[in-house]
Amino acid sequence: METFIMGRMAKFIINGGKPLKGEIEVAGAKNAALKIFPAVFLTKETIRISNLPVIEDVLRSEEMVKVLGHEVSRVSDRAVEINFKTPKCVDLPEGLVNKFRASVMFIGPMLARCGEVSFPHPGGCVLGAGTRPIDMFLHGFEKMGAKVEIKENRYRLTAKKLKGATIFFHDVTVTGTESLMMTACLTEGVTILKNCAMEPEIPALADFLNSIGAKIEGAGTPTIKIKGVKKLGGGEYRLIPDRIEAGTFAIMAAASKSSDVLIKNCEPAHLEALWWRFDKIGVKYVLGKDSVRILPTKNFVACDVTTHEYPGFATDLQSPYTVLMTQARGSSLIHETIYDRRLLFADILTQMGANIIMGDPHRIVVNGPSKLYGRKLISPDIRAGMALIIAALIAKGRTEIDNIYQIDRGYEKLDERLRKLGADIKRLA
Ligand code: EPU
């Protein structure tokens, strides 16, 4: 844990141009871990979580569970056991809520358990503004009978008793789907969620909740039906492999052109949109049952991408793919449909030598191949930060990446793991 706390001040120094060779294991999925911690409020029995990645966002979730009164015991590096205590309070602390957007996941289970919850806007945005709204969550809770008030920059939700409802999401939302699905487990009556997200972490969570007594049908499809039950039991939730980490490593190996990397402990079926593109552009790879091997590919061609909800091309893979396209022959249009600010990092790539034309906040054109050069950079966010590491690994010369707390949020001991593949990367405190 200490390494990561130090990591807030730390930077990565990378000397690019080394071919990567060997094996790398994929950790448990961050975006599955961030949902199971809030889910413990749905039961009074013991929950064990295994295959946990040791990353900042998980440590923050663990902290939140403790602050809210539960007992968390570390069983091993990768497993914790959580025991129910009567929740201490219904106020999510601002200091923690501001640190990670996924704190929003605690609202529904707290409301279902305590009948009340109060919190500031997640991620530190000002109320009503910001780029990551929570209107669909609030609308869903209201339909289930909760009263929503906004007072002194905090939301306060109250409900004597929640009741089943039919809720339509006007846009596909991953955490919104998961949040209302969890809340409905202890809500009297039947809840039907329509236009749901279908990301693999959602059926994984539903399967676990069903294994401890919930009655959820249809998770992984656009319509989810939940029949409320009086209580849930205890059990073990083993996280599925992180598909974004697996896809990122695959892109990283492909981008360096001379790498031969075996990515182990992954679920290749979760990345069909990426394999389809690899086929189209000519990257060579071999899929195994729970692995993928990326073979050296000297030349590949450009191919457009439009980010899309699962099973489409994940927005979380857009930034690594953009780096890959700087090494491809031809022009590719990168169309980011989910977030407004996720293409801004392209400007940093141009400082490294990439030829990128900014169309508007949602579209860029990458002209490749370009030689990249090491620079002093600041990691803007978790996925863009990881993309900059890929760029630095293939660039000529030395790159310094600051603000790597943003990378530690989602990738466990990245420097150590990349060094095992032959990368010249070190962490400076
Ligand atoms: N949106 C609304 N209203 C809402 C909720 C969302 O308008 O009430 C909008 C968002 O502004 C965004 C779109 O809907 O434009 C999609 O947002 P979504 O709610 O699906 O995103 P999320 O659930 O907050 C999860 C992942 C993200 C991933 C997205 C899309 C977690 C903790 N986060 O976010 O992961 O990019 O789904 O797949 O599961 C990451 O890991 O780096 C990351 C950002």
Question: Which band of pLDDT confidence, cut at 50, 70 and 90, is reported for residue 131?
Answer: low
18 with 87, same domain: the answer is no
Q: pTM for this one? A: 0.95
Which residues constitute the domain of residue 350? 11-27+241-428
Whether 1 maps to a domain, the answer reads no
Ligand 1 neighbour 406 (Cβ under 6 A): no
List, edge to edge, every strand of the sheet that includes 355-360. Answer: 305-306, 330-335, 363-368, 355-360
Locus of tokens 């305590």: 114
Are residues 225 and 294 located together in one domain of the fold? Answer: no
Same domain, 122 and 193: yes
Ligand 1 centre distance from Cα of residue 63 (Å): 22
Q: What is the pLDDT of residue 4?
A: 41
Q: Among the atoms of ligand 1, which is closest to the Cα of residue 199?
A: 38
Instruction: Give per-residue pLDDT as tens, 376-415.
Output: 999 988 999 999 999 999 999 999 999 998 899 899 999 9
CA of 214 to the centre of ligand 1 (A): 25
pLDDT at 98: 84
* Whether residues 81 and 20 fall in one domain: no
Q: Give yes or no: residues 355 and 210 share one domain.
A: no
Cα 383 from Cα 407, distance rounded (Å): 7
Q: Whose CA is nearest to atom 5 of ligand 1?
A: 134
Q: Is the same domain home to 103 and 124?
A: yes
Would you state the structure tokens that stand for residue 330, as one six-digit string? 């031809």
- Residue 133: the pLDDT is 87
Q: Which of the listed residues 170, 174, 240, 336 should we mutate to test ligand 1's pocket, taking the one with most ligand atoms within 8 A of CB? A: 174
CATH label of the domain that carries residue 395: 3.65.10.10
At which of 238, 256, 274 does a domain end?
238
Both tokens of 337, joined, read 């449909």
What are the residues facing 287 on neighbouring strands?
Answer: 292
Answer yes or no: is the C-beta of 31 below 6 A from any ligand 1 atom. yes
Q: Measured in angstroms, how far is the CA atom of residue 76 from the centroid of ligand 1? A: 30
Q: Whose CA is nearest to atom 14 of ligand 1?
A: 173
User: What is the tens place of the pLDDT at every residue in 274-299?
Assistant: 999 999 999 999 999 999 999 999 99
Q: How many domains does the chain have?
A: 2
pLDDT in tens, 200-255: 999 999 999 999 999 999 999 999 999 999 999 999 999 999 999 999 999 999 99
88 falls within a domain: yes
Do 246 and 345 fall within a single domain?
yes
How far is ligand 1, taken at its centre, from the CA of residue 354, in Å? 28
Q: Which pLDDT value is given to residue 370?
A: 98
C-alpha pair distances (Å), 40 with each of 106, 145, 234, 397: 10, 22, 9, 48
The answer to whether position 4 is within a domain reads no
Could you tell which of 177, 199, 319, 338 is best to mutate to test the pocket of ligand 1, judged by most ligand atoms within 8 Å of the CB?
Answer: 338
Lookup: tokens for 37? 């911690």
pLDDT the model gives residue 89: 65
Among the residue ranges 13-17, 85-89, 194-198, 254-258, the one predicted with the least confidence is 85-89
382 CB under 6 A from ligand 1? Answer: yes
C-alpha to C-alpha distance for 353 and 204, rounded to whole angstroms? 41
* Pair 229, 301 in one domain: no
The residue-averaged pLDDT of 29-56 equals 96
pLDDT digits (tens, 9 = 90+) for 251-280: 999 999 989 999 999 999 999 999 999 999
| 335: in domain | yes
Distance CA 120, CA 126 (A): 9
In the sheet that holds 11-15, the strands lie side by side as 376-378, 398-402, 11-15, 424-428
Instruction: Identify the three-state secondary structure at position 347.
Output: helix
Same domain, 221 and 338: no
Choose, from 89, 114, 125, 185, the residue flagged as catalytic: 125
Please tell me the distance between residue 173's alpha carbon and the centre of ligand 1 in angstroms. Answer: 6
Atom of ligand 1 at shortest distance to CA of 382?
Answer: 42
User: Is there a single domain that holds both residue 245 and residue 213?
Assistant: no
Q: How many secondary structure helices (H) and strands (E) does the chain include?
A: 15, 23
Q: How confident is the model at residue 127 (pLDDT cuts 50, 70, 90)?
A: very low
CB of 340 shorter than 6 A to ligand 1: no
What local confidence, expressed as pLDDT, does residue 185 receive?
A: 98
Measured distance CA(417)–CA(99) in Å, rounded:
26
Percentage of the residues of the chain whose pLDDT score is greater than 90: 85
Residue/partner pairs of 64-67 with CB below 8 Å, 24 or more apart: 64/37, 64/92, 64/93, 64/96, 64/103, 64/106, 65/37, 65/40, 67/93, 67/96
Contact (Cβ atoms closer than 8 angstroms) between residue 107 and residue 92: yes
Q: Is 125 a catalytic residue?
A: yes
Residue with tokens 């022959």: 329
Q: Quick one: 329 and 199 in the same domain?
A: no
Q: Residue 123's pLDDT is what?
A: 65
> Does any domain span residue 420?
yes
Tell me, yes or no, whether 251 and 225 share the same domain: no
Return the closest-CA partner of residue 401 out of 8, 4, 14.
14
Question: What is the distance between the alpha carbons of residues 371 and 194, in angstroms, rounded to a whole number?
Answer: 47
For residue 316, give the ligand 1 atom closest to its CA.
36
